[in-house]
Amino acid sequence: MVTRSGQFHLERPGIVNHRGLQRRRTILLENGLTCTDDLHTWADAASSLSVDELIAAGDWILRPRSTRTVGDLASVLPRRMRGVRTARAALLEIRPGSASPMETKTRLQLVRGGLPEPELNVTVTDEGGWLGIVDLFWRRWRLVVEYDGRHHVERQKTWERDVARERAFRDAGYDYERLISRNVNGRTPDALAIVRRALVRAGWRPGVA
């Protein structure tokens, strides 16, 4: 809960209080409630979220077609506030373009594991035209990596479309890897190993720019 400086605020379990509402931008919701905007809400959440949770929230604010930037997130951080160190650490790893928290988690595992940074949710084309928008893309090594949630295998039409999409990328000369939840969240996550092998096949070498 955010109140104006000097104003009474509730003390209740589960409620984190912040002062300085007059210094925050607010928006009016459809239900008539007023809340802080996405940037200030993200900054206030730094007092209760972990670094990775804050990265996922920041990535969501900078999702595809968003006009927000990492600089916008940095601009709302005061020098002193609860969680400012967490927020500053998160800013170093927030990237524009992730379309879901699982895409963020996948990217973090890969990059922290020593792999080069991918482009996120970019449109890929070849001589024949448009191929598709992909989750993770290493242009130099012509590698596409997609994270598929449960709905991709539960819906027949979606699955058929994904199979045709993968074939189109491979026919155009791209390597294509599909990751699912157990590759990222399982007891022994192997997303890093899968993508690392694909990059090495394509000519990437660790430690070589």
SS3 174: coil
pLDDT of residue 29: 61
- pLDDT tens profile 77-88: 987 788 999 999
The full set of domain ranges for the chain reads 2-91, 101-201
Portion of the chain with pLDDT greater than 70, in percent: 79
Cα-based distances in Å from 149 to 177, 178, 181, 185: 14, 10, 7, 12
Residue of 28 and 96 predicted with greater confidence:
96
Q: CA 86, CA 65: separation in Å to the nearest integer?
A: 26
- pLDDT tens profile 15-72: 454 454 555 666 666 666 667 889 999 999 999 999 999 999 999 999 999 999 999 9
Q: Which of 155, 162, 159, 157 is nearest to 176 (CA)?
A: 162
Q: What is the band of 6 on the pLDDT scale with cuts at 50, 70, 90?
A: very low
Query: Residue 2: pLDDT above 60?
Result: no
The chain-wide mean pLDDT, for the chain, equals 86
Q: CA 67, CA 72: separation in Å to the nearest integer?
A: 10
Q: CA 109, CA 28: separation in Å to the nearest integer?
A: 37
Q: CA 144, CA 165: separation in Å to the nearest integer?
A: 11
**Cα-Cα end-to-end distance for the chain:** 47
Give the mean model confidence (pLDDT) for residues 147-169: 78
Total-model pTM: 0.83
Give the mean model confidence (pLDDT) for residues 120-133: 94
Conformational region of residue 140, where left means phi above 0, alpha means psi within -120 to 50, and beta covers everything else: alpha
pLDDT of residue 58: 98
Class of domain 101-201 (CATH, top level): alpha beta
